[in-house]
C-alpha cells in the first residue's frame, strides 16, 4: 500500500467528538513514549503529522488521522506514565474504554512495545484486553535500531512469550529512526482493510 494522503481529521476525548463511523479504523496502543506517534509519521512519511516528544505523555487525546480517504489510523494516548494523577488515570481509562469497546468501525489495535524490554504488566493487561475483544493479533516492536542484529531475535521471543502470542499472531520490528519495518506493517494494514 502507498499512503498518498494523510491528514489529521479529529481530536477527541469523548464519543460525540469522534468522526462519523464510515470507514475502517486501526488504532495504535502502547505505553507512553513507546513510539506510537513516531510510527504514524513513519507510515505516512510525514515528519510532523503527529507530535512526538522525548518526555512521555505527549498524546493525551484520541487523534484520528484520515488515510487515503480509505481508512483511519487512530493514535491513542499512552499508558504507564508515572507523572499523572489518579483522576487523570481514570479519565484515560474511560476514554480508552469508550473508544475500544464502543467503536463499530474499529478493525484492529496494533499494540506497540519497546523491543529492548520485556513487556510490562500493563502491556500484558492491555494485550489481554484486546484479545478479549478480538482486537489483538499484531504487535509492533519499536525502536529496533536500539538492539543489534544478534539480540533482535532473542528480544522478539521474550516479547512473544511475555504477551502469550500464538503462532498466528504477528510481531513486526520497526525503527522510526532508521525507517525500517514499515513496509511489512503497511502490507498487514492493507490486508486488514481489504478483508
The answer to whether 139 contacts ligand GTP (rule: CB under 6 A) is no
Segment lying near ligand GTP (by CB under 6 A), choices 103-111, 151-159, 174-182, 187-195 = 174-182
Rounded to the nearest angstrom, the gap between the alpha carbon of residue 109 and the centroid of all alpha carbons in its chain is 6
All three cell numbers of 27: 488504532
By CB under 5 A, the residues from 39 to 68 that bind Mg ion are: 58-59
Place of cell 475483544: 133
Choices 47-55, 91-99, 147-155, 160-168 (CB under 6 A): range interacting with ligand GTP:
47-55
How far apart CA 5 and CA 3 sit, in angstroms, is: 6
Give the per-residue contact string, 63-92, with ligand GTP (x = CB under 6 A; - = no): --------------xx--------------
Q: Is 33 in the site for Mg ion (CB under 5 A)?
A: no
Q: Which residue has the cell 487525546?
A: 61
Sheet holding 138-142, edge to edge: 6-12, 62-67, 71-75, 25-30, 106-114, 138-142, 170-173
For Mg ion, the closer of residues 38 and 181 by Cβ is 38
179 counts as binding ligand GTP under rule CB under 6 A: no
Candidates 58, 64, 111, 173; binder of ligand GTP (CB under 6 A) is 58
118 vs 177, beta carbon nearer ligand GTP: 177
Kindly state the cell numbers that stand for 172: 513486526
32 binds ligand GTP (CB under 6 A): yes
Least Cα distance to 75 among 61, 63, 66 occurs for 63
Residue 98 near residue 17, CB atoms below 8 Å: no
For position 54 contacting ligand GTP by CB under 6 A, the verdict is yes
Question: Of 5-13, 53-61, 64-72, 118-126, which segment contacts ligand GTP by CB under 6 A?
Answer: 53-61
Residues near Mg ion (CB under 5 A), total: 4
Which CB sits closer to ligand GTP, 22 or 83?
Answer: 83
Q: Compute the Cα dihedral for 15, 19, 22, 26 and give only its sign.
A: negative
CB of 75 to ligand GTP, least distance (A): 7
Helix 182-194 with 36-44: angle, nearest 10 deg: 80
Give the interface with Mg ion as residue ranges (CB under 5 A).
36-37, 58-59
Amino acid at each position: 500500500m502507498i499512503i498518498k494522503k494523510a491528514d489529521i481529521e479529529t481530536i477527541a476525548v469523548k464519543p460525540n467528538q469522534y468522526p462519523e463511523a464510515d470507514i475502517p479504523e486501526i488504532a495504535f496502543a502502547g505505553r507512553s513514549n513507546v513510539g506510537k506517534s513516531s510510527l504514524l509519521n513513519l507510515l505516512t512519511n510525514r515528519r510532523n503529522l503527529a507530535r512526538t516528544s522525548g518526555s512521555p505523555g505527549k498524546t493525551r487525546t484520541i487523534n484520528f488521522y484520515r488515510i487515503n480517504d480509505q481508512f483511519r489510523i487512530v493514535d491513542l494516548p499512552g499508558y504507564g506514565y508515572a507523572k499523572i494523577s489518579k483522576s487523570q488515570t481514570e479519565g484515560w481509562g474511560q476514554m480508552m474504554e469508550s473508544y475500544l469497546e464502543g467503536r463499530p468501525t474499529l478493525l484492529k489495535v496494533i499494540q506497540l512495545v519497546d523491543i529492548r524490554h520485556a513487556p510490562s504488566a500493563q502491556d500484558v493487561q492491555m494485550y489481554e484486553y484486546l484479545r478479549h475483544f478480538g482486537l489483538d493479533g499484531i504487535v509492533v516492536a519499536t525502536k529496533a535500531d536500539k538492539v543489534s542484529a544478534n539480540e533482535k531475535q532473542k528480544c522478539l521471543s521474550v516479547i512473544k512469550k511475555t504477551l502469550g502470542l500464538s503462532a498466528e499472531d504477528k510481531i513486526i520490528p520497526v525503527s522510526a529512526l532508521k525507517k525500517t519495518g514499515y513496509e511489512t506493517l503497511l502490507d498487514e494494514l492493507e490486508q486488514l482493510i481489504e478483508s
